[in-house]
Structure 1
Amino acid sequence: MTLQPASSVGEILAYLRSLRNEANIAGMARFGIDTTTALGITTPQMQALARQVNRDHRRALALWQTGLRDARMLAILTADPRALTMEEARAWAGDFNSWEIVDTAADLFTQTPFWRALVTKFADDEREYVLRTAFAMIAGATVHNKDEPDESLLAYLPLIEKHATDPRNFVRKAVNWALRNIGKRNATCHGPALALAEKLAASDDKTARWIGKDAVRELKSEKILARLKA
């Protein structure tokens, strides 16, 4: 069976279930992915499926409602960022239960015209995966949103500092990710990001210290310094 652009939700679900892979499910679990509803479909498989069915926002919303991990991943990959509303994005975020879902959705969310408002909303939310989304979006925007002014990204440094003491694994890693990506963007962003990283590295807080030291290590690496000088 091959999926088509006009494939229905039912047809897609049947096809996804036909691809169930127990070994992949076990592998996902080892990487900290919630596999409660997973079918074990790999990222390359999912990307190929997304190309087959194309974007269909209404269908993507229906796929999300199934609650299946793999259907939700396909929903994210086939949703239309031009049609996605803030209410839909926030509703999806409320369902997030795994870092891979967060990071995939963050790429979609940063393509919307209201992504900055979403970052603000998500950063005010104490739920671990919603809060991670805010920093995953910042990390993604520094790379993918080429026209985003450096100043608007540097403006997130105080937010990064504010949440640098959150010890929850998926938050601290995303905060670190956002800080490193800002610092690696270009020479303009490097200095302020490195300054914050060094400040956090000297913190009395264990989490902030880890975030800072890890960021300093990368931002001072020969590879990064050479690229910024090029």
Structure 2
Amino acid sequence: MSTVDDVIAELAALEDPRMRAVNEKHGDDHGINLTKLRAVAKPFKTDQRLALQLWATGQTPARLVALLVCSPRAFDADELDTMMRDPRVPKVTDWFVNYVVKKSPLADQLRERWFDDPDPVVAAAAWSLTSVRVAKRPEGLDVDALLDQIEREMKDAPAALQWSMNETLAQIGIYHPAYRARALEIGEKLQVLADYPTSPGCTSPFAPAWIGEMVRRREGAAALPGR
């Protein structure tokens, strides 16, 4: 049976100084290829005890493995709130929200708890969860109020929060035709991420471009035979 020390030693052996230099430019304090890190986690499948021990080390690679092997349903709301406020490493925060919080039955409770949090990273998580609701379970959401807040606050929001609010704006425009014109209008007015560098073949995160491309794809798929 592998111990925490075994896992940490295995991760340390994967450290690449050149990759660390690249990651540190994005605020991530590790130099491990994430495909190789996932391979370290894979044999454990779900191991909540090991996950808690790895998280407690405070080390970024160990915490990333912890997020891959934990059971999202095993945490209560206060535990998830504490974990959300603990990491200040972008990749840990990203994986925590996407691999743990979004898979928890407490996701919507936390969305409401974090929505107007003064910490922009925590508030960004709430908007990310809101994007999921907009696309998959919009019942009960006040879409007009969301658009009002986006129009009022997104332009001057901190980067992480701005990105998540922009995602919600795009999801509203993509999945809710009745609000599409207003979503496009807000995006054009605010010009958030209009100049974001986008590789050829990739969709721009600029909301009007994102909405337009995804709507075209959805409408094209719906027109295929058998749909």
TM category, shorter: 0.7 to 0.9
Unaligned 5+ residue runs, structure 1?
1-5, 203-207
Does 1:150 pair with 2:145?
no
1:183 — aligned with what?
A: 173
Give the partner amino acid of 1:216. P
1:76 — aligned with what?
A: 67
2:200 — aligned with what?
A: none
- Find the aligned partners of 1:88 and 1:160 in 2 and give their Cα distance: 31
Give yes or no for contact 2:155–2:192 (8 Å, CA) kept in 1: no
Please point out which of 215, 218, 221 is paired with 1:224.
215
TM-score for the superposition, normalised by structure 2:
0.79
2:27 — aligned with what?
A: 33
1:27-62 per-position Cα deviation (integer Å, ceiling 9, x unaligned): 1123x2232xx2x11221222222122211122122
TM-score for the superposition, normalised by structure 1:
0.78
In structure 2, the CA distance between the partners of 1:28 and 1:193, relative to structure 1 (3 Å rule), is farther
Q: What is the CA distance between 1:166 and its match in structure 2? A: 4.0
Please point out which of 179, 186, 190 is paired with 1:199.
186
CA RMSD of aligned residues (A): 2.6
Does 1:127 pair with 2:105?
no
Q: How many residues align?
A: 207
Unaligned 5+ residue runs, structure 2?
195-204, 223-227
SS at match of 1:41: coil
1:72-118 per-position Cα deviation (integer Å, ceiling 9, x unaligned): 11111111012121111111111131332222111221111110111
Give the partner amino acid of 2:11. L
Give the partner amino acid of 2:162. R
In structure 2, the CA distance between the partners of 1:115 and 1:14, relative to structure 1 (3 Å rule), is same
- Find the aligned partners of 1:68 and 1:160 in 2 and give their Cα distance: 38
In structure 2, the CA distance between the partners of 1:60 and 1:158, relative to structure 1 (3 Å rule), is farther
**Aligned residues with identical type, % of pairs:** 23
